[in-house]
């Protein structure tokens, strides 16, 4: 494959429920490493499967990763009436406090149900689970997306959720490394600055990420940790990514930035993408689907290095080959709801 048509080191969003001619031309000329979908892209099952089929056809022989944020609770891009309503991580965490085994079963069922819904419409990477440890006063941007305030329990429930996803042929993305639970402002609108000492972070926030370090994908946080790098958010911090994310935490998976359009960051989209890659992210994530900004990002970022392309292809090939056993989604959903209605009723 020539460098001109090699996948670029970016995952991008698209504007609507089908590709425009201009989007189609862009994705052929400057193919992204992957595409992420949002509620604006998802009308119903038939439409969404047609969209993912078209995206994959444009990628040719390469298995294009198609991502989405489907966590359960309020962060669900596939929503009723066309898709099932599912509980939040916080609800499962509360169940686990009353009955740890029931909580773990519920987390695994949640992941398996989400995988079922995603796989049938051609989506194979879920930007979940959230590994952020809850703290008093944390921003509602995380809120009940967290499994709770006990780092070991968060790790256990997140691992069960990831197991459910994987069993259904969907890859998890653990987020937001090295932890978003101490943010007091929403990084969609401002840059959070965390002042806790490194020892505090290591005893709590880092624990779930260390436990799930073998996940195939991880996503960074747009937070400044003054004890780790007082000048740069994690997403654009060479020091933090090298020493903490890759070093101390041992994160081995492909590292995505969080959405580079968030206002925690400054600069033009292309400059943000380059800063994330230069800091050590493998893929720059740019979600809004604004054509000219997306074009600028894809033009700015380099083609995937052969070693990274091989790693990504390996993950996607393994997913496509995953033998998904017969699964009764209705029975699993009923069991999940019965678990949640039990000890916490």
- The residues assigned a catalytic role are 188, 258
Torsion sign, CA atoms 317, 321, 327, 332 = negative
In Å, what is the CA distance from 213 to each residue of 7, 70, 195, 237, 252? Answer: 26, 21, 24, 19, 6
Q: Residue 243 class from Cβ within 10 Å (0-12 exposed, 13-18 middle, 19+ buried)?
A: middle
Instruction: Print burial letters for 175-201: b (CB count within 10 Å at least 16), e (below 16).
Output: bbbbbbbbbeeebeeebbebeeeeeeb
Helix 291-300 crosses helix 269-279 at what angle (to 10 degrees)?
40
Other C-beta atoms lying within 10 Å of the C-beta of residue 65: 25
In Å, what is the CA distance from 107 to each residue of 72, 88, 118? Answer: 10, 10, 17
Instruction: Provide CB contacts within 8 A for 118, sequence distance 6+.
Output: 68, 70, 78, 124, 126, 168, 170
Going by the DSSP 8-state scheme, the letter that residue 134 receives in this structure is P
The 3-state DSSP class for residue 10 equals strand
220 φ, ψ to 5°?
A: -80, 170
E strands, 178-283, where? Answer: 193-194, 217-220, 224-225, 254-256
């Amino acid at each position: 494959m020539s460098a001109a048509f090699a996948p670029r080191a970016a995952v991008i969003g698209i504007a609507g429920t089908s590709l425009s001619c201009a989007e189609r031309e862009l994705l052929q000329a400057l193919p992204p490493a992957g595409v992420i979908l949002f509620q604006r892209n998802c009308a119903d099952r038939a439409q969404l499967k047609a969209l993912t089929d078209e995206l994959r056809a444009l990628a040719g022989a390469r298995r294009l990763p198609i991502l989405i944020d489907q966590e359960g609770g309020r962060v669900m891009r596939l929503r009723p009436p066309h898709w099932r309503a599912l509980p939040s991580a916080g609800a499962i965490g509360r169940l686990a406090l009353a009955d740890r085994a029931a909580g773990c079963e519920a987390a695994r069922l949640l992941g398996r149900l989400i995988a079922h819904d995603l796989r049938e419409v051609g989506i194979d990477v879920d930007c979940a689970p959230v590994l952020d440890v809850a703290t008093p006063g944390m921003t509602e941007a995380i809120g009940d997306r967290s499994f709770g305030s006990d780092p070991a329990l968060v790790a256990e429930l997140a691992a069960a959720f990831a197991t459910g996803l994987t069993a259904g042929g969907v890859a998890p993305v653990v987020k937001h490394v090295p932890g978003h639970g101490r943010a007091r402002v929403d990084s969609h609108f401002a840059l959070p600055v965390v002042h806790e000492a490194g020892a505090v972070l290591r005893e709590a926030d880092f624990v779930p990420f260390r436990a799930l370090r073998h996940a195939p994908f991880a996503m960074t946080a747009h937070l400044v940790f003054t004890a780790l790098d007082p000048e740069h958010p994690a997403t654009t911090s060479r020091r933090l990514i090298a020493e903490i994310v890759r070093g101390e935490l041992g994160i081995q998976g492909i590292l995505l930035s969080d959405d580079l359009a968030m206002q925690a960051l400054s600069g033009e989209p292309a400059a943000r993408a380059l800063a994330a890659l230069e800091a050590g992210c493998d893929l720059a994530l740019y979600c809004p689907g604004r054509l000219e900004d997306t074009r600028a990002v894809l033009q700015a970022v380099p083609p995937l290095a052969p070693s990274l392309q091989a790693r990504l292809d390996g993950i996607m090939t393994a997913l496509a080959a995953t033998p998904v056993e017969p699964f009764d989604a209705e029975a699993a959903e009923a069991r999940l709801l019965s678990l949640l209605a039990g000890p916490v009723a």
